[in-house]
Amino acid sequence: MKILARLTRDDIRSLEIAVNKAACARQAMCPNAVPPYAPAQAVDKYFREALFAYADTEYLQDYFWRDLAGKYGVEQTALQVDFNTQELFISES
């Protein structure tokens, strides 16, 4: 792996927020997230909203990676971030 850059704290925070929101949305989509006695209409609405929340987080993460890839002229799939050091890495193939 090769270090491309040291990201700003704002960049790291944006990615952390998107990753945390995705984790929460995945948890919300678990089948046991809603009590079995909940009305079907409420269950449907709950899972629809959870799915939309997850889709939003996927978009935010994809936008983040696409923006960095464009900024550094590399493929998006080759990028990784170390949250502790704030370093942006690229996989060397």
For residue 93, the model assigns a pLDDT of 63
Residues 6+ apart with CB under 8 A from 58: 22
What would the pLDDT profile of 3-15 be if each residue is shown by its tens digit?
A: 889 999 999 998 9
For residue 72, the model assigns a pLDDT of 87
Percent of the chain clearing pLDDT 90 (strictly above): 71
Distance CA 48, CA 43 (A): 8
Q: Provide the whole-model pTM.
A: 0.77
Q: Which residue has the tokens 């990753």?
A: 19
Is the pLDDT at 31 greater than 80? The verdict is: yes
Inter-residue contact 91 to 4 (CB < 8 Å): no
For residue 86, the model assigns a pLDDT of 92
